[in-house]
Amino acid sequence: MSASWKQSIWINFASRYRNKATKALLISATLLVLSALPLHSDSSLSHWFKSLMRNDGGGSCCDTSDCRVVDYRIGPKGYEAFVDGEWTPIPSNIVLRRHNNPTGGAVLCMNHLFRTMLCFVPGVQG
């Protein structure tokens, strides 16, 4: 075997591996971005969502990509929201007392990438 033939085989192998690795990276990045976005956001309510301000003074906590209507209940320690298939306690420091909730239901605003709750607006009966 000549050295140039071995080099040719190596270059061909490396090229195929690099193409597969690049494709896998692109698919993984796309899935990560898509998993961070909620499936049901209503852009007609974006002005209201953006008007929600964090209780800690950290500015706006919500926009249409962060907020969604959720099922909720009042548990033994306060509000709970049904998130990712389970009842999750809502920290009392993120509950916003708004009487102009146009959704009628409870709204939970989260950073979906880091799974952090930012704001919770109880439904009209809460």
Instruction: Specify the pLDDT at position 38.
Output: 46
Q: What is the mean pLDDT of residues 74-92?
A: 93
* C-beta of residue 121 within 8 angstroms of C-beta of residue 101: yes
pLDDT bin (cut points 50, 70, 90) of residue 122 is: very high
Q: Is the pLDDT of residue 111 over 60?
A: yes
DSSP-derived secondary structure letter, 121:
E
Decide: helix, strand or coil at residue 126: coil
Per-residue pLDDT tens digits for 32-80: 544 444 445 556 777 887 888 888 777 787 755 578 889 999 999 999 9
**What pTM value is reported for the model?**
0.61
The DSSP result for 41-101, as a single string, is: --GGGHHHHHH-B-TTS--B---TTTEEEE-EEEETTEEEEEETTEEEEPPGGGB---S--
Instruction: Specify the pLDDT at position 93.
Output: 92
How, if at all, do strands 67-70 and 78-83 pair? Answer: unpaired
Instruction: Specify the pLDDT at position 100.
Output: 81
Decide: helix, strand or coil at residue 18: helix
